[in-house]
Every structure is written in structure tokens, then in C-alpha cells.
Amino acid sequence: MSRLNVTRRGVIKTGAAAGAGLALPTYLSAASHSGFTNAPTGDTVTLGFNVPQTGPYADEGLDELRAQELAVQHLNGEGDGGMLNTFSSKALQGNGILGKKVQFVTGDTQTKSDAARASAKSMIEKDGAIMINGGSSSGVAVAVQGLCQEAGVIFMAGLTHANDTTGKDKKANGFRHFFNAYMSGAALAPVLANAYGKDRRAYHLTADYNWGWTQQESIQASTEAMGWETVNNVLTPLAATDFSSYIAPVLNSGADVLVLNHYGGNMVNSLTNAVQFGLRDKMVNGKQFEIVVPLYSELMAAGAGANIKGVLGSMNWNWQLQDEGTKAFVKSFGEKYGRPPSNSAHTCYAQVLLYADAVARAGSFNPCAVVEALEGFEFDGLGNGPTLYRADDHQCFKDVLVVRGAENPTTEFDTLEIVEITPRAQVEYAPDHPMFAGGALGSCNPGA
């Protein structure tokens, strides 16, 4: 991976020493008298990029890190500026953030909540990170968001799709640009009904952690509302690599649709096993058996290869969109890395820019000023059309994509095709919706 002309202060240790105790930060910058954690005093400001560099979501983490480095480059006035040129807000000038050059440190979440908290804690306490961005798991996002709330820094979530992140586990110091499981259900259900009919029997395999639970709940609710029946829901461990024993019972269940509430390597392996068992060639209840993958990524699609042909799912964003922001980002990313960005890369890039822009508009790094600047912020030019950061729960609302596996991809990067761009209004919901009930946003914590 190419490196930027920024200070990279090393990969953070996530061993026992780094993880011992998760109390509030004991290390603060020399400017703790300024009233907030890690207030920058010199000519630089440090951001913490916490991504899975190992584990089942490592491919997503690598692409997130690529995008985060690119965002730092653009903030510092290097390269072509990317989405800074299309972003509706013009507060950023390409001279860092409030004139301070941006530098960064990184950590490995390992897709484990404890490891993710430990690496975030180390970046905050030892390296003076004033904002944490990244992650490819909702379990990790909820854990790190809680840590950042306690520490008094801003958490700009990466790839986290569970309803809980901006539902029962929402925090005032945390913000999510990525869409959520409810939105996937709301966008997918009409397309599934049109493609497969309203008289279907669905069998769910679900990753056994908070993302899988809320994804399954959302898809079940949206499909049952249009007439589908749910035959069974079976939980599978995140560490699983062979799903054969979970696929076999589907054959005798009476189901004619398999919904794979899996992500990353889990989805690649479970879909591969399902195809090996011949599910897609079966006729059940007088209907062609179908498979649905509610949450897609380009990296997963490339890993699954021909097995995804015709399989429907949803995405937060796709590099094939034709808005000016997407085209600018794809150009910058492609020139730097020789490949188009994934939707996990896109959301991390956007989150870094949104944080920097909020600081610039607020004229302060104080996290409470940043919160005020982001709550209710409406913007455009970062892909997905006009977008709102809702004040009630810090969830972004924007258009959602329904995609399917391409029948005739020309490269490893166009294995998904956009079926429908679901308008934002179709995926919006009230802040007190039952799927998001419990918990309170609370108040911003500036830390020191």
C-alpha cells in the first residue's frame, strides 16, 4: 500500500497490556486545560483509524484504510481533492483542519469488540487521537462508540449496519453515515415481491451477533408484511467457515427462499456451500428456489464469483453510480490504488470528510461543537444524493441501492449491477420506531 506524506505513528498494539482496563483516558494532551480530550496545540491533529486488519472482515478493513489515507491526503491539499470538489459544503480549504496538518494512527479491531476497544483506547490515550473512524462490524462499532463516549472524543462509524448502532446503543458522540438493516428491508422487500412473488417461504441463516440479529428481524418484518412466511431462523457463529451442516436442513424445510444474513467471508462461504448443495437448481412448492443476500459489498461479490449471479441484495453505495461525487471519488481512488473503491471504503472516506468539515464549520475541535455542527446537517455531493444527518439519533438518511449479481461481469469489480436506486423517503422511519427503541442519545461528552 502506498503511503502519504503524513506522520504515521505506527500500528497500535492490541495485546493484553493495551487492553488492560477500559477506564476513562488517563493520558490527555498538554492542552487538557482547553476543556476537551486531546485538544490539539501544535500544528498537527491526529485521527485514529480503527479497522479489521485481520479476521473475517480483513478485506473490508484494508479497503477502509486505503480510503482513510486518501481522505487525509485530500484534507492536506495533496492529490486532486476528490470529493472535496463536489461536497456541497465549502468549509474545507485543503490546508488540513483549521490549518493543522492531519496525521493518523491505526489499530486492528480483529473484528472483536474487546480488541477494538483496546486499540481505540490506546490511540486516544497514547497517541492523542481526537476522532476515531472505521470498523466493519456492528459489534465493534457499538463497543468503540461507547468507549469514545466515555473518553470524550468523536466516533465516526465505518461499516456498521445493525439497527442498534443508532438505535438502542446510540451515543451523542457517535455518528453513522452507513445505512442500516431496517433500510435494507425497506428497499429490498418491494423488489423481492416483484421478482419472486408474494407467496414465498423463507429460511434464514443469521450471523450470531447484533448485526445479524437486527438484519434478520428487519428482513423478516419487511418480507412478511408483503406476504412471505418465515419457516426458520438459525444462528451461525461468526467464526464459522463451513456452513454445510446449516445448509443441509434447508432442503427438507419446505422453504423456497434462503436468506443469508451473513457478511464478508461468512457470506462467501455460506453462499458457496448453498450452491454446492444445488439449492439454486431446485424446484420447491412449484417455484424456483432463490437465495437472497440482504447486505452486499463488492469485495464479497468478487470472493463469491459466479455463485452470486442473479442474487438480489442491498448496498449503501456503489462505484458505478453516476453522480459527480461518486465519479470524483472513483477517479481519485482508482488512480491511487488501481481499483475502484468498495462501499466500506466510501463510507469511511465520507466520514473523515464530514468530521473535518464539521470542525471547520464549528471553528473548533471541541467534540460538543462538532456534534452541534453535524446534528441536522444536510449535504450533497458525497454520493447517494441529498443526505441528512438526523439530530435525533445521528443516523444518515439517503438513497439506498438494490443490486444483484451480474450475469456477465467483465472484470472482478463489476460483479454487481444496480437494479434500483431506492429514494430516501422510502427508507425513512420515525426516531421512536420499535426496532430502534431503548437507549437514549444522551449528552455530548467533551472529556477533559
What structural domains and CATH numbers belong to the chain?
44-179+319-398 (3.40.50.2300), 182-315 (3.40.50.2300)
Q: If you average pLDDT over residues 1-21, what whole number do you get? A: 32
pLDDT band of 318, cuts 50, 70, 90 = very high
Q: If you average pLDDT over residues 256-269, what whole number do you get? A: 94
Q: If you average pLDDT over residues 181-209, what whole number do you get? A: 97
> Dihedrals φ, ψ of 313, to 5°?
-170, -170
Angstrom distance (rounded) from CA 183 to CA 251:
30
pLDDT attached to residue 34: 56
Among 1-15, 65-79, 265-279, 328-342, name the one with the lowest average pLDDT.
1-15
pLDDT band of 238, cuts 50, 70, 90 = confident
* pLDDT at residue 4 tops 80: no
pLDDT attached to residue 264: 85
- Strand 101-108, strand 283-284: pairing: unpaired
Angstrom distance (rounded) from CA 71 to CA 74:
5
Whether residue 93 contacts residue 75, with contact meaning beta carbons closer than 8 Å, is answered with no
Residue 365, SS3 per DSSP: coil
How far is residue 288 from each of residues 16, 255, 424, measured CA to CA in Å? 51, 11, 32
Query: Amino acid identity of 230?
Result: T
386 contact partners, CB below 8 Å, separation of at least 6: 378, 379, 380, 398, 424
- Strand 377-379, strand 387-389: pairing: antiparallel
Q: Give the side-chain half-sphere CA count within 13 A for 371.
A: 22
For the entire predicted model, the pTM comes to 0.90
3-state DSSP of 176-212: ECCCCHHHHHHHHHHHHHHHHCCCCEEEEEEECCHHH
Angstrom distance (rounded) from CA 395 to CA 170:
9
pLDDT attached to residue 265: 86
Under DSSP, the state recorded for 340 is: P
pLDDT attached to residue 56: 81
pLDDT attached to residue 135: 85
pLDDT attached to residue 204: 98
pLDDT attached to residue 51: 96
Dihedral sign of CA atoms 404, 409, 412, 414 in order: negative
219 contact partners, CB below 8 Å, separation of at least 6: 181, 184, 185, 188, 204, 259, 261, 292, 294
Q: If you average pLDDT over residues 113-137, what whole number do you get? A: 95
* pLDDT at residue 299 tops 90: no
Strand order in the sheet with 174-175: 8-11, 101-108, 44-51, 131-134, 154-157, 174-175
* pLDDT at residue 28 tops 60: no
Average pLDDT, whole number, for the chain? 91
Whether residue 131 contacts residue 156, with contact meaning beta carbons closer than 8 Å, is answered with yes
Say if residue 268 is exposed, middle or buried (CB neighbours under 10 Å; 0-12, 13-18, 19+). Answer: buried
446 contact partners, CB below 8 Å, separation of at least 6: 35, 36, 37, 152, 366, 367, 368
Q: If you average pLDDT over residues 117-128, what whole number do you get? A: 97
Residue 439 corresponds to which cell in the numbers above? 437507549
pLDDT attached to residue 6: 32
Whether residue 167 contacts residue 438, with contact meaning beta carbons closer than 8 Å, is answered with yes
